[in-house]
Amino acid sequence: MARIVQKFGGTSVADLNRIRNAAERVKRAVDAGDQVAVVVSAMAGETNRLVDLVRQASPLHDAREYDAVVASGEQVTSGLMAIVLQTMGIQARSFQGWQMPLKTDNAHSRARILEIDTTLMRQRMDEGVVAVCAGFQGVSNVGRITTLGRGGSDTSAVALAAALEADRCDIFTDVDGVYTCDPRIVTKARKLDRITYEEMLEMASLGAKVLQTRSVELAMNHRVRVQVLSSFEDKPGTLVVDEDEIMEHEVVSGIAYNRDEAKITLRRVADRPGVAAAIFGPLADAGINVDMIVQNVSADGETTDMTFTVGKADLDRVNALLKDKQATIGFGEVICDSGVVKVSIIGVGMRSHAGVAQKMFSTLAERGINIQVISTSEIKVSILIAEDYAELALRALHTAYGLDAIG
């Protein structure tokens, strides 16, 4: 007997038929003798609808009431899933965040999990009951409903698997696993049987949208075995595991891309100590995430150019902030470019191989693609290029690193 957590995303519970289909998966595990805790998302599109209602009610709404509204999508699907399971002869009951309880801090709309008390849930599971948990939500120390941030039900599921010491956390979704690259762009992309936590973490934060980044972090810290698989097809998915569970590593395991960043260049920045702090301090204070940064050496000994990327959604704010501080920072002009894409190659095998980045640069050079910004870490190389070349670059790199499916 194994104890497993099965998480169903929005498209897997989009209507009653799909909930029935998901319930069949649960039934199969129960019939096989497993103890099952289910975590559900809201029906596809429902959370967007609720967020929209809140914004229409008031753009400057109370964050606690936002959570009260948007958490309701998961309350509905957890109840429906429990009912459908019962019609199949399976004992089931729903658990809302406050009923487990899943305790969080009180950072409403982006709360962090502090602790999950699983005593009641374990009791019921030992009696053969399937615990159907509303994902995405928790309860603060003053008893108010909180939510974990968009896409947070992945995090609910992994946290619950850790708290229940589950053997596995299955994330059922509308894709059948993690691919070497986005198969909508690279038709020769392959599904990976296994991927390491570290690689998955990079893939998720660099743009692959299968799992919420936080959930991967949590899985890595608590060594939760996560499987990403399709709720519509009956075949194994991708296992996210520890590095030592993979015998031999490809040098590059996957390629990710992100179109959500924009490039900002500050021309003729005064080349003096403290200038980087003067630029990035105000951005940090405004809660703006800066990603890639390059600073050139100054040719004249007096000024230099500084280039960095921020989320496209923050671009206008950043532009206004910098113009506001132009005199104090001391620079010539701001140039904004949102026509860029970040492409990243990822692989733990990179640690022990030389020339990995070089292959990336020469592959792009052969296609006449200009690299605008480069950043690296131990297991990834990211470059920024013009958006128009995204697809060409992804396909060329996929071939160059030997990732193409055969046949």
Which residues of the chain form contacts with ligand ASP (CB under 6 A)?
A: 10, 41-42, 47, 73, 135-136, 150-154
Which CB, 40 or 400, lies closer to ligand ASP? 40
Q: Of residues 138, 151, 207, 254, which one binds Mg ion by CB under 5 A?
A: 151
What is the dihedral sign for C-alpha 323, 329, 333, 334? negative
Binding site partner of 177, from ligand ASP, Mg ion, none, Cβ cut-off 5-8 A by kind: none
Number of alpha carbons in the 13 Å side-chain half-sphere of residue 39 = 29
Nearer residue to Mg ion within complex by CB, 201 or 400 = 201
Place of tokens 């506001």: 324
**Residue number with CB closer to Mg ion (209 or 272):** 209
Angle of the 63-70 helix axis to the 72-87 helix axis, nearest 10: 20
The radius of gyration computed from the CA coordinates of the chain, to the nearest angstrom, equals 23
Residue 5 C-beta: closest distance to ligand ASP, Å: 14
Strands 35-40 and 3-8, bridge-based pairing? parallel
Asked whether position 9 contacts Mg ion by CB under 5 A, the answer is: yes
* 81 interface partner picked from Mg ion, ligand ASP, none, CB below 5 to 8 A per type: none
Q: How far is the CB of 355 from ligand ASP (least distance, A)?
A: 40
Nearer to ligand ASP, 210 or 385 (CB): 210
Distance of CA 67 to the CA centre of its chain: 20
Nearer to Mg ion, 11 or 99 (CB): 11
The answer to whether residue 135 forms part of the interface with Mg ion (CB under 5 A) is no
Q: Mutual orientation of helices 197-205 and 213-222 as an angle, nearest 10°?
A: 160
The tally of CA atoms less than 13 A away on the side-chain side of residue 245 is 13
For the bound state, the minimum distance from the C-beta of residue 45 to ligand ASP, rounded and expressed in Å, comes to: 9
In whole angstroms, how close is the CB of 9 to Mg ion at the nearest point? 5
Compare residues 9 and 73 and give the one whose CB is closer to Mg ion. Answer: 9
Residue 312 interaction partner, one of ligand ASP, Mg ion, none, beta carbon < 5-8 Å per kind: none
Interatomic CA distance for residues 395 and 407, integer angstroms = 16
Beta strands 333-337 and 261-270 are antiparallel
Could you list the residues that contact Mg ion (CB under 5 A)? 9, 151
